[in-house]
Amino acid sequence: MTDPPPWAFEKPEIHPPDPSWAARGAAVRARIADLLAPWLAEGVDHIGSTSVPGLAAKPVLDVMASVRDLDEVVAAARARLEREGWCYVPPDLDVGAPWRRFFVQPDETGRHRRAHLHVLPSGHPRRTAQLTFRDALRADPSLAAEYTALKRELTRTASDREAYTQGKTEFVHRVLALRRED
C-alpha cells in the first residue's frame, strides 16, 4: 500500500471571499463537462462555498457531475481525468459517501487541494440537496454569514477534515428543512 498523499490530511482553512472563484468554477465545470460528456445525465454544477458570491471558504472548488453509471465513469474516464491531474479516491477511503465517486485535483505542489469532483448517479437526492443549499446561501446574506461563522469556528475546533465536515451537518439540515417549508 502506498502512503496517502499530503493533501489527504490538509487541515481546512477558511479564506476571504475571492471573486475569481466564480470564473475558476465555471472553467472547471466546463472542462469536466467535456471530459465526462459521454456519461453525463444532468450536467455539471459548481457547488460548495466557492460557488456562493461573497462567502468565505476553503479555496477548493467543488463541482458535481450527474452521470448515468458511476462505475462506468470510473472505469472509462478515470485515465482521462488522471491525465488532467485528478486523483481518484476509492469508495472505501471516501468515508460516509458510498453514493458517489470522488476525485481530488491537488495543486502543483501536491500538498493542497485545488478542486473536488463529486460524481453522483442521475436522480440522486444529494444533487438536489447540494443545489438547494447553495441557492439558499446565495439568496440569503444572513444565512451565508451564519454559515461563515460556523465554518470559522470549526476550523479552530475540529480535529480533522471529517470532523469539520460533520460539524456543518446540523446547519445544512436546518437550511434544507427551511427550504422545504418555503
% of the chain exceeding 90 in pLDDT: 86
Q: What is the mean pLDDT of residues 168-174?
A: 96
Structure confidence at residue 131 (pLDDT): 98
Is residue 7 pLDDT above 80, yes or no? yes
Q: What is the mean pLDDT of residues 28-54?
A: 97
Q: What is the mean pLDDT of residues 68-84?
A: 96
Q: 10 Å Cβ neighbour count for 87?
A: 17
In the Cβ-directed half-sphere of 71, how many Cα atoms lie within 13 Å? 1
Q: How sure is the predictor about 166, in pLDDT bands with cuts at 50, 70 and 90?
A: very high
Q: How far is CA 178 from CA 124, 150, 167, in A?
A: 20, 18, 19
Which cell goes with 38?
459521454
Residue 67's identity, in one-letter code, is V
Structure confidence at residue 162 (pLDDT): 87
Structure confidence at residue 1 (pLDDT): 58
Which contiguous run of DSSP H or E holds residue 117?
A: strand 113-121
